[in-house]
Amino acid sequence: MRAEAAVYDFHNANLRGQEVLGQAADVLDAWKEKRLLAIVKYRRSCKALLVLRGAGPWIQELRELHEKDMSTMYGAVLDTQEKAAQAESSVMRKCKRHQVDTTSEQPREVSWIWLLEGSLGECNEMSSLEDVRVHWVRSQARMKWWEEEQELLWEEQCRVLVTLGW
């Protein structure tokens, strides 16, 4: 979730253009899929542990995971509601700009998953940004490799046509 939040921040601050935004969306979709698989795995593991061990003090640490718990440390929930809010039409955004916002921001509650011992590990903002950079570099290398493969394929097709014409 930290990496997703870092990508969202970078995305909002720096990225412009359809191609780049599409690539960023692909990365975020892949990470969302991994997060959803981890949620399913966690929930199944907790149910299995409850069946095997029964209730005990471990229940205080390994709680049931709800949708509201899937938020960043800053309270931004990472789910489909966020995407739906972002998908508002430009007309609605223009109308909202001219309205006066009378609501104040409510204090956000930090999810229990961030309060567990070791939940933050050795990770800080710089290491999560480093993870994003590594992922980006790997993606760029993969893209360049595919471009080389495409060029080689064109060359091979030209050679085949020359050979067949001979």
Residue 123 main-chain phi, psi, to 5 deg: -80, 135
Which one has a higher pLDDT value, 103 or 24?
24
d(C-alpha 140, C-alpha 130), whole Å: 15
Give the model's confidence band at 160: pLDDT under 50 very low, under 70 low, under 90 confident, else very high: very high
d(C-alpha 55, C-alpha 49), whole Å: 9
Convert the pLDDT of each residue in 14-36 to its tens digit. 777 777 777 878 887 888 888 88
d(C-alpha 27, C-alpha 139), whole Å: 9
Convert the pLDDT of each residue in 86-101 to its tens digit. 545 444 555 555 554 4
Return the minimum-mean-pLDDT range out of 58-62, 120-124, 149-153: 120-124
3-state secondary structure of 71: strand
First to last CA, the chain: 59
Which one has a higher pLDDT value, 107 or 154?
154
